[in-house]
A = this chain, B = another copy of it.
Amino acid sequence: MVDHTVKAFDSEIGQLRGLVAEMGGLAEVAIRDAILALTNHDEELAKQVVARDARLDALEAEVDRLAVRTIALRAPMADDLRDVIAALKVSGVIERIGDYAKNIAKRVNALDGRSKVEPIALVPAMAEIAEGMVRDVLNAYGSRDAALAVEVIRRDQKLDHFYNTLFRSLLTHMMESPSTITVATQLLFIARNLERIGDHATNVAEMVYYAATGEYCTERDTRTNDTGGLE
């Protein structure tokens, strides 16, 4: 590439990475606010989380457009092309993470705020792990930090254990007091959404690891839980 093309490419890849970082920030806030809305039974905040998801969709579309234009105009090779494709893929995953947060927020309405079940107390701690994974994997993406990516992949085990505990606890509650079934079912889905957020953060971490090292990360194969939340 001639010099001014290189500069244009650098500016475009910088823009792509910026858009992905912005998406990551929005996804983090979405998870946090969805859980806040849940614990405070704040239907207004829940509505905001749902409405704000459109911004994530729009940003993903912007990443797509810019990535395609960059490839078409600059015809980047090797590492540079991988960089563009990575932005395309990572933005797709973050958009999905936003969908899970939106799904959690949508369930706030179905929980009437009075009939609480005890295991709900575990949800914020579980959400914090998921949110931390999203934050750190975006940092790892920004700085191509393979070690941090591996750390995120490992943390997914912790999240899976949390999910399994919560799942069992909710089932026990439902059996002991059938009046909690409606609420507990919503919490089951919420917990499952958080577990899926962790899975997607792990997917991104694996992409970051691959981009940084050129090798596939084998860390995930050693995970004890891959039952799809079956327990």
Binding site for B on A (CB under 8 A): 64, 67-68, 71-72, 75, 77-78, 81-82, 85, 88-89, 92, 102-103, 106-107, 109-110, 171, 174-175, 178-179, 181-182, 185-186, 188-189, 192, 227-231
Quick check: B81 and A68 within 8 Å, CB to CB?
yes
Give A33 Cβ to nearest chain B Cβ, in Å: 16
Quick check: B182 and A185 within 8 Å, CB to CB?
no
Residues of B close to A188: CB separation below 8 A: 185, 188
Partner of A182, one of B67, B171, B178, B228: B171
Quick check: A230 and B110 within 8 Å, CB to CB?
yes
Give A71 Cβ to nearest chain B Cβ, in Å: 6
Closest to A99 in B: B228
Give A157 Cβ to nearest chain B Cβ, in Å: 18
Give A160 Cβ to nearest chain B Cβ, in Å: 13
Additional A-B contact list (17), CB under 8 Å, known A107-B228, A174-B181? A64-B85, A71-B71, A72-B78, A75-B75, A88-B88, A102-B228, A106-B230, A110-B231, A174-B174, A174-B185, A178-B178, A181-B181, A185-B185, A186-B230, A188-B188, A189-B192, A189-B229
Quick check: B228 and A103 within 8 Å, CB to CB?
yes
Residues of B close to A185: CB separation below 8 A: 171, 174, 185, 188
Residues of B close to A182: CB separation below 8 A: 171
| A-B contact list, 14 entries, CB within 8 Å | A67-B85, A68-B81, A68-B82, A72-B75, A72-B78, A75-B75, A89-B92, A92-B92, A106-B228, A171-B181, A174-B181, A174-B185, A175-B178, A181-B181
Partner of A77, one of B72, B107, B186, B192: B72
The distance in angstroms between the C-alpha atoms of A29 and B227, with both chains bound, is 21
Closest to A89 in B: B92
Residues of B close to A181: CB separation below 8 A: 171, 174-175, 181
